Chain A
Amino acid sequence: MNELLSPSAALREAWRCLHCWDAPCTAACPVHVPIPEFIARLRADDIVGAEELVRQANPLISSCGDICPDEDYCSRACILKDVEGSIRVRELHGFVTESAHAPWQRWKPWKAERVAVVGAGPAGIACARELARFGYHVFVFEKDNAPGGMLRYSLAADRFPVRILDQDLALMQGLGITWKTGACVDSLKSLLDSYDAVFYGTGRHEDATLGLADEESFLFSGLSFLRAWRTGSGESLAGKDVVIIGGGNVSLDVASTAVHAGAESVVLIYRRGPKEMPVWKREREHVEGKGVRFEFCTRPTGFITEGGVLKALQCQRTRLIDTGKSRLTPQDVEGYDFLLPADLVIGSVGMNASKDEDVELGWKDKAYLPVDENMRTKEKRLFAGGDLVSGEGTVVAAQSHGIRAARAIHALLQEVRS
């Protein structure tokens, strides 16, 4: 959860924007929020107009205003970055969306076609909103009891309060989208039979395995842990030493939640160094500030138990070797192994998709579902997006997939009609 700028601080920050002619910030934003334009409206005290520009481009406006890693997108592209420091775009975005909320209204007559969206994560939500704006009947199928996907079930509560997501969803109520929650889709084939087009965005929900002996008994799933705490069924970790095997941003949420759960100690191990860790600097600093200890260049080798009870995680120190690959390769340092006391070991080294569709999508051994530039799969009327198709893993990137797919679906259905 981010601190909001005060109105006077927001105004001064807004006035720093040069309003560059070609807006590299907008180009760097996956959903192309017209950044200089919304900032110009903000500084002219037209907050409603500013919010409108943001929300046209970005369906989950408040959510992105809160958690978007702008350091990877707009702020990195800001021309002032190396001159006097980037414009704090996300904070201005957050200021605008906190100050103004306009509910969506359906403004077109309904079209005859029906589109199914499978998975109500950021990709599916964005796709559904865009399709509803075109006038289609949109049916969203979500296996969980509420929409939101990773935003709702897999983020640390102090990083992203669910009420912000609910605020975004509430604004979409007037769009006439049919939300079918708690609805498992077993067959994409039958959906394709019943609907004119389908968007597939179910994400990745299976924690990657580590290949350690007794892993199924002693390795707790990071996603399950987060979900339990997000849904109010998390158990206290008071007095427990927790070790998290991680790397990405999700492992930071796990660590943060473990601290919140009252753990005696929380250690996050990662096989490469701090520079290689694929996480957002802001989030890492936040977690470090909460007392999480990082053990870099450390890889797990086994569970140490006593009478069937976990006591420690056996670890091996690594060093990073340049083998000519894009990333440095961790190599064991011989004779340098050690134990980390552990009552609970949580694995969070990546997520896999289930890949059990009844339509041939060409996964083969690929990590990501193959789609073309319009997010279309091998199947003509089936589009996909979000974590299924990319490892970018951000709300804004997932939304850009959903929006792109919605536009392609619209083009396809218009083509079919004529």
Chain B
Amino acid sequence: MTGASQSKRGPEPPLDLSVSFLGIELENPFILSAAPSTDELDIACAGLDAGWAGVILKTTSVEGNPVSLAYPMMSTMDWAGRRLVGMGNIDLISEHHIDVVEKRVAILKSEFGSKLIAASIMGQKQEDWQSLVQRLKDAGVDLIECSFSCPQGSMGERPGAMLAQSAEATEKVTGWVKEAAGDLPVLIKITPQVTDVVEIAQAVKNGGADGLTASNSVPALMGVDIETFVPAPSLDQYSTYSGLTGPAIKPLTLRTVAEIARHVDIPISGNGGISTWKDAVELFSVGARNIQICTAVMHYGFRIVDDLKSGLSNYMKRRGFGRVSDIVGKALPHIVDHDSLPRRTVKSRIKSDLCIGCGVCYVACRDGGHLAISMDDRQPVVDDDKCVGCGLCMLTCPVSDCISMEVIT
């Protein structure tokens, strides 16, 4: 195709990235999660203007549920000279109670009619939950998300516990919410911090919810100042556990979503540790139908949605996927229990033309593997008799595609 004919036809139409979720049409699969970025009206508007498909307003509650924040609330997990590989937060739910949030829902609905306008709620008594649902429904909200999993504070069933750590409580409260919501779609946001996430997901389904959000930040102690022995974040001489988010928790989210998708038939909104379009594709492939993001926005701003859309479009064009939903669940058939994995012989194969001779694989195999690699004049040589095929050499090699594992039998 020549450049001239291309320009006559104009640029290619943008790929359709829309997804349908619980009967709601989203222009793209990227939603701002219930978090700091959606706690102020102006900021939420800016996010929608930037191209996000929707917002879930930060979790609100009734007046009887006072919110007392402690500052500073955030901390970083650094690695290899990089900041915020993981982010910790001791934030609580929004300080804005339902009377503020219901007004915002109405404003956002009138200004951004085509976007998803959702709200997140948290309550204690049945009447709290149900009145929150009723008021938001009256305000015109598109969807309600229930936080059963805020790991900070102590607003669950018992102090320090989360609702979604009890299957019984999860099913009961889901039932209350859905009773009040009627046709209005309800998502339950769960925690990965349970013994069996499938049991909780089943309870969400049994309780009648339309879908669930998997998952949330992970309870963590972000670090300790080894001079003062005060953990982070330090508030005078005191600290507490944080909710860990960011790239560090992506593998946990992938596992949580995959595990639910494999065992419970319920729509999933994916959340936790997604920063790039590649992360998003991975999360779609294990069963998420859309992606909620917060930490990456807190770090790099709303503008990342352009990169998410661009990367996803280019990937879909290259792979011939017509709709985002075509990617959903693609990885699931490939996930089996360990017992069902194929047993065969693999051996390390090192491409000598790509090898730079650093010997990192040699040291790894020597001290953390099976003494199967020796160095011959700056070239690693694999001893097939000793190589068990663990793959450590491949992981430590700094050169892409230099080491692979060959299937022998």
By a beta-carbon cutoff of 8 Å, the part of chain A in contact with chain B is: 8, 11-12, 14-15, 18-22, 43, 79-80, 83
By a beta-carbon cutoff of 8 Å, the part of chain B in contact with chain A is: 80-82, 356-360, 362-363, 375, 378, 398-399
Q: Among B80, B82, B360, point to the contact of A20 (Cβ < 8 A).
A: B360
A340 to chain B, nearest CB (A): 48
Q: Are B358 and A18 in contact (CB under 8 A)?
A: yes
Q: Are B81 and A22 in contact (CB under 8 A)?
A: no
Which residues of B lie under 8 Å from residue A18 when comparing CB positions?
A: 358, 360, 398
CA distance A22 to B358 in the complex (A): 8
Q: Among B80, B82, B358, B399, point to the contact of A21 (Cβ < 8 A).
A: B358
Which residues of A lie under 8 Å from residue B357 when comparing CB positions?
A: 20, 79
Known contacts A21-B363, A21-B375, A22-B375, A15 near B358 by CB under 8 Å = no
A74 to chain B, nearest CB (A): 15
CA distance A199 to B357 in the complex (A): 40
CA distance A18 to B361 in the complex (A): 11
CA distance A11 to B357 in the complex (A): 24
Which residues of A lie under 8 Å from residue B375 when comparing CB positions?
A: 21-22
CA distance A11 to B83 in the complex (A): 12
Which residues of B lie under 8 Å from residue A21 when comparing CB positions?
A: 358-360, 362-363, 375
Q: Are A79 and B81 in contact (CB under 8 A)?
A: no
The 10 sampled A-B contact pairs (Cβ below 8 Å) are A14-B81, A15-B81, A18-B358, A20-B357, A20-B358, A21-B358, A21-B360, A21-B362, A43-B80, A83-B356
Residue ID in chain A nearest B366 by CB atoms = A21
Q: Are B362 and A79 in contact (CB under 8 A)?
A: no
Could you list 7 further interchain pairs (A-B, Cβ under 8 angstroms) beyond the known A8-B81, A20-B358?
A: A20-B359, A21-B358, A21-B362, A22-B359, A43-B80, A43-B81, A83-B356
Residue ID in chain A nearest B364 by CB atoms = A21
Which 4 pairs of residues, A with B, have the shortest CB-CB distance? A21-B359, A12-B81, A11-B81, A15-B80
Residue ID in chain B nearest A84 by CB atoms = B398
Residue ID in chain A nearest B360 by CB atoms = A18
Which residues of A lie under 8 Å from residue B82 when comparing CB positions?
A: 12
CA distance A14 to B360 in the complex (A): 16
B396 to chain A, nearest CB (A): 10
CA distance A167 to B82 in the complex (A): 33
Residue ID in chain B nearest A81 by CB atoms = B356
CA distance A12 to B80 in the complex (A): 7
Q: Are B358 and A79 in contact (CB under 8 A)?
A: yes
Which residues of B lie under 8 Å from residue A79 when comparing CB positions?
A: 356-358
Residue of B81, B375, B398, B399 contacting most chain A CB atoms (<10 Å)? B81
CA distance A21 to B360 in the complex (A): 6
CA distance A280 to B50 in the complex (A): 51
Which residues of B lie under 8 Å from residue A80 when comparing CB positions?
A: 356
CA distance A11 to B398 in the complex (A): 18
A148 to chain B, nearest CB (A): 36
CA distance A13 to B357 in the complex (A): 20
CA distance A8 to B82 in the complex (A): 9
A168 to chain B, nearest CB (A): 29
Residue ID in chain A nearest B399 by CB atoms = A83
CA distance A190 to B399 in the complex (A): 61
CA distance A15 to B398 in the complex (A): 12
A244 to chain B, nearest CB (A): 42
Which residues of A lie under 8 Å from residue B80 when comparing CB positions?
A: 12, 15, 43
B346 to chain A, nearest CB (A): 24
Q: Among A11, A19, A43, A83, point to the contact of B360 (Cβ < 8 A).
A: A19
Residue ID in chain A nearest B80 by CB atoms = A15
A35 to chain B, nearest CB (A): 13
Which residues of B lie under 8 Å from residue A12 when comparing CB positions?
A: 80-82
Residue ID in chain A nearest B397 by CB atoms = A18
Residue ID in chain B nearest A17 by CB atoms = B358
